[in-house]
Amino acid sequence: MDQELVMYSRTFGCPFITLAKRVLDDQGVAYREVYIDRDMAARQRVLDWTGFLSVPTLVIARRGSDLPEEAPAALPKGISPRGINRGCMITEPNIDELTAWLRQHGLIDALAEC
């Protein structure tokens, strides 16, 4: 697979990050974290993509890259990105939103949830 899941995160606690990690770990999905409180370029990317410092922001990237493999669907200015499937990106999803997004990208199998 020439893709990988990258999760923009931060080093201190957040319920959305905890939830995303639990879903990914429960489903056995490998991911790489990029911390926006340690990497100012990553911080700026999340701000540019979401309009906020919203974490987790999960992206489907080419292996070894921190950038989405394609441009995410645009958000109207000032609208919360929370839970919106933007194609190769989703931000602050709940369990159902994240599970559907992972399934859409072939990272989990529909049968794995049974």
Q: What is the DSSP string of 20-32?
A: HHHHHHHHT---E
Specify the CATH number for the domain of residue 60: 3.40.30.10
pTM over 0.75: yes
| Digit-coded pLDDT (tens) for 30-78 | 999 999 999 999 999 999 999 999 999 999 999 999 999 999 999 988 8
> pLDDT digit string (tens) for 97-113?
999 999 999 999 865 44
List, in sequence order, the alpha helices (H) in 1-114.
15-27, 40-50, 95-104
* Rounded distance between C-alpha atoms, residue 10 and residue 38, angstroms: 8
For the chain, what is the domain count? 1
Structure tokens at 35: 């911390």
Residue 14 sits in which domain range?
3-113
